Structures are given as structure tokens and as C-alpha cells.
Amino acid sequence: MHFLHLALSLLTASTTVFALEPLTVKGRKFFQNDTQFYIKGVAYQPKVNAEFTTTVIDPLADAANKNCSEDAKLIRNLGANTIRVYSVNASLDHDKCMNAFKNESIYVFLDVANPSTGIDRTDPTWTTTQYDAYKQVVDVFSKYNNTAGFLAGNEVVNNASNVPSAAYVRSAIRDLKSYIKSKKYRSIPVGYAGADIPDIRNELAAYLTCNATNTPQDNATEADFLGYNNYEWCGNSNFYASGYAARTNELQNITVPIFFSEFGCNIISPRTFSEVQAIYSKNMTDVWSGGIVYEFSEEVNGYGLVNITSTGERVKNADFGNLQKQWASVNPEKMSLLSYNTSDTRLPECPARNKTSWAVASDAFPITPNATFCDDAVKNLHCSVQGEPKGSKIGQVLGELCYYDQEACADISSDPYNGHYGKFSGCTGKQQLSFALDAYTKHHGDEACSWGGVGVLS
Ligand SMILES: *[C@@H]1O[C@H](CO)[C@@H](O)[C@H](O)[C@H]1NC(C)=O
Ligand SMILES: *[C@@H]1O[C@H](CO)[C@@H](O)[C@H](O)[C@H]1NC(C)=O
Ligand SMILES: *[C@@H]1O[C@H](CO)[C@@H](O)[C@H](O)[C@H]1NC(C)=O
Ligand SMILES: *[C@@H]1O[C@H](CO)[C@@H](O)[C@H](O)[C@H]1NC(C)=O
Ligand SMILES: *[C@@H]1O[C@H](CO)[C@@H](O)[C@H](O)[C@H]1NC(C)=O
Ligand SMILES: *[C@@H]1O[C@H](CO)[C@@H](O)[C@H](O)[C@H]1NC(C)=O
Ligand SMILES: *[C@@H]1O[C@H](CO)[C@@H](O)[C@H](O)[C@H]1NC(C)=O
Ligand SMILES: *[C@@H]1O[C@H](CO)[C@@H](O)[C@H](O)[C@H]1NC(C)=O
Ligand SMILES: *[C@@H]1O[C@H](CO)[C@@H](O)[C@H](O)[C@H]1NC(C)=O
Ligand SMILES: *[C@@H]1O[C@H](CO)[C@@H](O)[C@H](O)[C@H]1NC(C)=O
Ligand SMILES: *[C@@H]1O[C@H](CO)[C@@H](O)[C@H](O)[C@H]1NC(C)=O
Ligand SMILES: *[C@@H]1O[C@H](CO)[C@@H](O)[C@H](O)[C@H]1NC(C)=O
């Protein structure tokens, strides 16, 4: 009888598609079905076929990564329930890889940027070009139940001098949230992964999650969650010496889920991952939702849980077994969705603007890039850019032109400290140059249109 029963259940199993409930966010916690969910994650970005390509190395691309299924099983065996992927190419197929991870009940946090579309901290922009690229990633990955969240940036802000770039991150989050809503996709949360920078880390957390626009929660523009890349706990540290106690206290008023989007200091090797005991303990679980260990494969910086040989074999380092034991030994208390009361939750105050330490306004953000608006406006110009000049050429001409005639660049310029964003500041670089050249020509006569050899009169 037992054998018959087993055979029948195997038969049914093979005909049903394995279902995985999407994660949801309520208040400062993640939920799976109606039970709280703690992230036990690994950063997953093996340099798949790295020697053959200079383009984005997409570890979730079916064609490039033949090892998704084996890796998903190995990662499940490690005790993880989540991976984080830093860069994908939205024009490739991802069904097989995403399914392989889904089959092992593994969720995916995905960065939407790649090196050419990310927000540049020293010269931040939020343009139709970037928005379109991010939308493509959202279009592709929103159909998978195991997409846990999108990261609109990783360590964009990394010191007090580039704080203005935070405004662009907040706009990217706002616009991706509104895009997901407008497409009626599942309500996948959009967040950000921050670097651990003592001068600004708390202001940044508040800035990205604060009640900036005084709008009701249902069209709120703030981040849905925050990741924190943190390497403070090295070797056998403890809750206090590591800084974890201080960080937990500092973030107590943040009202969205927070987790370590990277952790695992490797100064002392092999790593014992003793911090796992603290992360999933009552000391931290009111504020934190777990963390993501950096990282699956050994790369030049030496954080690999496994080494990948030239034949594709995965060789476990001691860290792998150590982490596996730690994760298996923690069992954090899980709240039920229904008993979690968030009715009196208020978003935090926005940080005060300060010329030296926090030089960005929080009552206005970069405008939503709108391609139709830009395309229409550029049609009516007297002087505009023809052909396809290189990005570097556009940058050079704009730099010179705006230096000589600031006013001609008013509509494409931004001033994050005062919260002023030009109405064409979200257009493509080529369009911005057209607007600037047109205004410059108005000031200096038709001949001025030929600056840099890119402008043509209509
Ligand atoms: C996706 O999640 C929904 C619930 O939101 C569930 O009904 C469905 O079966 C899941 N699909 C897959 C393929 O896991
Ligand atoms: C979540 O609910 C689905 C049915 O909707 C069930 O198949 C699955 O086992 C549940 N998952 C967990 C982790 O409870
Ligand atoms: C994405 O993949 C397509 C198709 O292989 C390729 O043409 C393109 O260059 C890739 N993009 C990036 C940014 O790697
Ligand atoms: C996922 O599981 C299904 C059902 O067991 C199976 O048909 C499919 O081949 C698996 N996919 C991958 C990529 O492992
Ligand atoms: C915000 O949401 C409310 C309620 O759904 C709606 O009335 C209002 O128009 C929305 N505001 C904006 C700016 O979208
Ligand atoms: C958190 O909020 C409480 C009540 O408003 C306040 O007293 C406390 O100083 C805040 N803590 C931090 C770290 O911001
Ligand atoms: C939790 O905090 C207490 C002190 O409040 C400390 O003694 C204990 O070691 C901490 N637990 C963990 C797992 O870090
Ligand atoms: C990874 O993929 C390669 C190429 O298909 C294969 O030779 C290798 O055995 C795979 N490794 C594992 C661990 O499955
Ligand atoms: C993995 O590679 C690193 C760096 O080359 C090396 O130090 C380490 O011994 C390797 N681990 C194993 C298990 O081979
Ligand atoms: C945001 O601020 C407005 C105005 O002060 C308030 O009505 C609203 O409840 C706040 N929203 C949240 C979620 O705190
Ligand atoms: C701005 O921040 C600096 C450094 O934190 C501080 O010394 C200064 O008092 C602040 N200025 C104002 C106007 O708050
Ligand atoms: C984009 O701009 C066009 C043309 O000005 C306008 O009709 C449209 O409403 C705008 N779209 C959004 C989402 O604001």
C-alpha cells in the first residue's frame, strides 16, 4: 500500500507546476503567504563566460548560464531562500533560470541598473534613457512569482560630496513604483542598497523613506525597503563591538523592511559567520529582516562560498559549510500577517538640508522622464542636433556651452540643493543638447547653432 501511495503522489507531483507565493511587504516586514519571511540570501553574480564578452554578464540568462539548476539546488542546500543579482540583460531569455530558482523556493532581489544605465554619483541624471532601460528589466522580471524586489540603485551615494545623487535615486524609485502600478503588475517592492558610510547612512535611510510629499500612503513615493551593505562584523565579534547594536538602534524609526543587502567581512578567513546568530535574534528582528551573504562564487576580491573551476565544477570553501551550519541553527520568531498591526505607523521625518553634510532638498525631486513630452518639444526647435553624436561629444559641447551661457542651459539643469529641476532635465542627452543649442542660438544669432559642428537650423 505504501508503495502504491508513493507512486501516485509522484505522478501527481510531476503533472502540477510547483507554485511559489510571491513575497509581500507590510509595515517593516516581509511576508510569505501569511507568515513573516526572513531573508537568508546569497549574492549571485558568477562571471558566466566572462572571457567571451565585454557586455553585461547576466547570471540569469538561460543561454549564458547552463548551471542555474545545479546552483539553485546548491544554494537551497546551503539553507538560503534568496539570491541577489546585480546586473541582467533584459533582452535575453530568463524563464529557465528563474524557474530553476523558483523550483528550489528561492526568491530574487534584482538590481535594475547596469554599468551604462546606473545613476552616476558625480554627475547624476534621471532620464528617459535610464527610465526606459529600467522599465525593460521590470517588464521582464515582474512576471516571475519569485522576483522579490527591484533595487533602483546600489551604493550610488558614497560620501557627503555626492549626496545630491540621492534625489535621483528617490525619483527612480518613485517612477518605477508608479510604472509597476500603471502596468497592473503584481505589487513588487522597489528599494535601494546603500553603502555603510558613517557620515550619511542615517540621513540617507530617512531621506529615501520619509514622508516627503505629504501624499497618502497609497501613492507614496518612498522606498518600499532598504538594503544595507554592511561588513562591520569580522571574525568572532559580538552584537556591541561589531556596531550591529548601534545600527539597530539608529534605524528603529524606519518604517519599511531593512536587511543586509551584503554582509560577510572576510578579513578573518575562513569566515565563521557568527553574526548570523545576532541577525536572526530578538536583538535585531524588530528592525531587520535578515541578510544576503556576499557572495556565491569566488572572484578576485575573495568572498566566494564556492570556487568555480574551468570545467564548471563548484568546489566548496570552508565558508560554505560554516554558513550552512549557522543558518540551520537559527529559527527567528515569525509574526503572522493578520496579527501585525501597522495602523499607527508614521513615516520618518525627512533629514534637514545642510550645505556641508546633507546638501539636498527633500520637498522636490528630479522630474519624471517623459519621452513624449521631450520628443514633442524638440520638434519645434529652430536649432537642433542632427545625426547621432557620441555621448562624450554631447558631454563636451554641453559642458562648454553651459559654461559660457548658463541661462541657455536653465531648462536642462538641476539644482538639488534648492530642489529645482529643469523641465527638460529628464530628456536624452542629445535632446538636452538641442534645447541648449536652440536657446544659445536665440541669444547669439543663427550662426551660433553650429557650435561643436552638431547643430543644424531648421
Ligand atoms: C504565483 O502566485 C500566485 C498567488 O499570488 C499563485 O496563485 C500562482 O499559483 C503562482 N504561480 C506560480 C507559477 O508559482
Ligand atoms: C503557501 O501557500 C501555498 C498555497 O497557496 C502552499 O502551496 C505553500 O506550501 C505555502 N507556502 C508556505 C511556505 O507556507
Ligand atoms: C544584451 O543582449 C543583446 C542580445 O544578445 C546584445 O545585443 C546586447 O549588446 C546586450 N546588452 C548589454 C548591455 O550587454
Ligand atoms: C522545475 O520543476 C519542474 C516540475 O518538477 C520541472 O518540470 C522543470 O524541469 C524544473 N525546471 C528547472 C529549470 O529545474
Ligand atoms: C493619490 O491617491 C489618492 C487616492 O487614491 C488620489 O485621490 C490622488 O489623486 C493621488 N494623487 C496623486 C498625485 O497621484
Ligand atoms: C525614534 O523616534 C522616537 C519618537 O519619536 C524618538 O524619541 C527617537 O529619538 C527616535 N530615534 C531615532 C534614532 O531617530
Ligand atoms: C543580544 O543582546 C544581549 C545584550 O542585550 C547580548 O548579551 C547577547 O549576546 C545578544 N545576542 C546575540 C545573539 O548577539
Ligand atoms: C556547469 O555547466 C557546464 C557546461 O554546461 C558543465 O560542463 C558543468 O558540469 C556544470 N557544472 C555543474 C556543477 O553542474
Ligand atoms: C578557492 O580559490 C581561492 C583563491 O584562488 C583559494 O585561495 C582557495 O584555496 C580555493 N578553495 C578551494 C576549496 O579550492
Ligand atoms: C504623511 O504626511 C501627511 C501630512 O502630514 C499625513 O497626513 C500622512 O498620514 C503621512 N503619511 C504617512 C504614511 O505617514
Ligand atoms: C551642518 O552639518 C554640520 C556637520 O554635521 C554641522 O556642524 C552644522 O552645524 C550643520 N549646520 C546647520 C545649519 O545645521
Ligand atoms: C507625457 O507628456 C505628454 C505630452 O506632454 C502628456 O500628454 C502626458 O500626459 C505625459 N505623461 C505623463 C505620464 O505624465
pLDDT computed for residue 310 by the predictor: 87
| C-alpha cell recorded at residue 411 | 531648462
CA–CA separation, 151 vs 398, rounded Å?
31
DSSP at 21: P
Residue 77 and residue 218 share a domain: yes
The helix or strand, by DSSP H or E, that contains position 126, with its residue range, turns out to be: none
CA atoms within 13 A on the CB side of 119: 32
Say if 334 falls within a structural domain: no
pLDDT computed for residue 56 by the predictor: 73
Residue 444 and residue 312 share a domain: no
Print the domain residue range for 394: 371-457
Q: Which of 328, 362, 384 is the last residue of a domain?
A: 328
In the chain, the N- to C-terminal Cα span, in Å, equals 85
Say if 8 falls within a structural domain: no
Among 212-216, 303-307, 369-373, name the one with the lowest average pLDDT. 212-216
Burial (CB count within 10 angstroms: exposed 0-12, middle 13-18, buried 19+), residue 165: buried
Say if 333 falls within a structural domain: no
Q: What is the pLDDT of residues 96-127, one digit of tens each?
A: 999 999 999 999 999 999 988 999 999 999 99
Domain containing 398 — which CATH number?
1.20.58.1040
As for ligand 9, residues whose beta carbon falls within 6 Å of it are: 298, 307, 315, 317
Handedness of CA 327, 341, 108, 159 (dihedral sign): negative
CA neighbor of 100 nearest in space, from 58, 144, 148: 144
pLDDT computed for residue 48 by the predictor: 64
Across 368-373, average pLDDT: 96
Q: Which of 274, 298, 328 is the last residue of a domain?
A: 328
Q: Which of 328, 358, 388 is the last residue of a domain?
A: 328
Pocket test for ligand 3, best of 49, 54, 56 (most atoms within 8 A of CB): 56
Say if 407 falls within a structural domain: yes
Q: Is 155 a catalytic residue?
A: yes
pLDDT computed for residue 10 by the predictor: 47
Across 130-157, average pLDDT: 98
Cβ contacts of residue 352 below 8 Å, gap of 6+?
A: 358
The total number of structural domains in the chain stands at 2
Residue 50 and residue 121 share a domain: yes
Residue 324 and residue 377 share a domain: no
Residue 386 and residue 320 share a domain: no
Say if 3 falls within a structural domain: no
> Which residue CA neighbors atom 7 of ligand 9 most closely?
302
pLDDT computed for residue 212 by the predictor: 84
Domain containing 181 — which CATH number?
3.20.20.80
Pocket test for ligand 1, best of 107, 145, 337 (most atoms within 8 A of CB): 145
pLDDT computed for residue 9 by the predictor: 46
Residue 197 and residue 62 share a domain: yes
Residue 143 and residue 256 share a domain: yes
Q: What is the pLDDT of residues 245-271, one digit of tens each?
A: 999 999 999 999 999 999 999 999 999
Please give the mean pLDDT across all residues of the chain: 93
Q: What is the pLDDT of residues 385-441, one digit of tens each?
A: 999 999 899 999 999 999 999 999 999 999 999 999 999 999 999 999 999 999 999
pLDDT computed for residue 214 by the predictor: 54
pLDDT computed for residue 115 by the predictor: 87
pLDDT computed for residue 49 by the predictor: 55
Say if 365 falls within a structural domain: no
Share of residues in the chain with pLDDT > 70 (%): 93
pLDDT computed for residue 3 by the predictor: 44
Residue 420 and residue 313 share a domain: no
Say if 387 falls within a structural domain: yes
Say if 165 falls within a structural domain: yes
Of the ligands numbered here, which is closest to the C-alpha atom of 316?
Answer: 9
pLDDT exceeds cutoff 60 at 6: no
Residue 420 and residue 275 share a domain: no
Residue with C-alpha cell 538590481? 111
The predicted model scores a pTM of: 0.93
